[in-house]
Amino acid sequence: MDNDEQIERIAASATPEEYIENSLRSGLPPRLKARAARLWMERTGRTSDDIVRARNRHPYWKAQKSRNAAERARRRMLANDFASGAVRDWNPALLARFLELNGRGRDGHFVHKDRELAETFGTTIPSIQYLRRKHAAILRAFGADVPRDLATDCMALAETVLKRGSRAIEEALSQRPRDHSGGAGRREA
């Protein structure tokens, strides 16, 4: 089968899944696959998002994405490690500052990316993600209008306590002696 026949076969695909399968079998170079994709989208009224969704579900592309994923993740973590081996003491002042910067925009996305906050606080991305999970649990327990000082106090609690809800949080806060010396937060890298 020549290239034009292969392009036509791809463009004649009825579904995004069929399109992905035909594209993989074609053996065409990327520039010709791009031409086939454009033609297929014009004919079917589908978008590149449909192709991406079908591709993400296809076993071949799943395997390609996961290949070397651990190494890529390790390199990304090392490149974004702003702790330099130091341990971050999340005192109430730092936690209050974190809560100020942890807001979401109108689109629902965080205003500051994990990387930006990690750099700002001299810590790691997993540390920021951990704090964001804790803050989300506090918001679920007490609502969006939780007072800042209560949220700061709650951030010093373990994530497992926070996930159990407002009653568990209030109980943990009542049993914990309040430390105003700056050691209320969890120490993290």
Instruction: Answer yes or no: is pLDDT of 150 > 80.
Output: yes
Mean pLDDT of 28-53: 94
Separation between Cα atoms, residue 138 and residue 99, nearest integer Å: 11
Burial label, 47 (beta-carbon count in 10 A; 0-12, 13-18, 19+)? exposed
Residue 91 pLDDT:
92
The helix/strand/coil state of 94 is: helix
Per-residue pLDDT band for 163 (boundaries 50, 70, 90) equals very high
Per-residue pLDDT band for 13 (boundaries 50, 70, 90) equals very high
Kindly report, residue by residue over 115-139, the tens digit of the pLDDT. Answer: 999 999 999 888 999 999 999 999 9
Instruction: Answer yes or no: is pLDDT of 111 > 60.
Output: yes
Residue 180 pLDDT:
47
Cβ neighbors of 7 (< 8 A, separation 6 or more) are: 26, 28, 32, 35, 36, 39
Residue 72 pLDDT:
87
Separation between Cα atoms, residue 42 and residue 17, nearest integer Å: 17
Residue 181 pLDDT:
43
Burial label, 115 (beta-carbon count in 10 A; 0-12, 13-18, 19+)? middle
Separation between Cα atoms, residue 175 and residue 166, nearest integer Å: 14
Least confident span in 1-15, 68-82, 149-163: 68-82
Instruction: Answer yes or no: is pLDDT of 182 > 50.
Output: no
Kindly report, residue by residue over 48-80, the tens digit of the pLDDT. Answer: 999 999 999 999 999 988 888 889 888 888 888
Kindly state the percentage of the chain with pLDDT values over 70: 93
Q: What are 176-181's contacts with CB under 8 Å, separation 24+?
A: 178/153, 180/92
Query: Residue ranges per domain, the chain?
Result: 3-66, 76-188
Structure tokens of 158? 């373990």
Mean pLDDT of 86-102: 91
Instruction: Answer yes or no: is pLDDT of 183 > 90.
Output: no
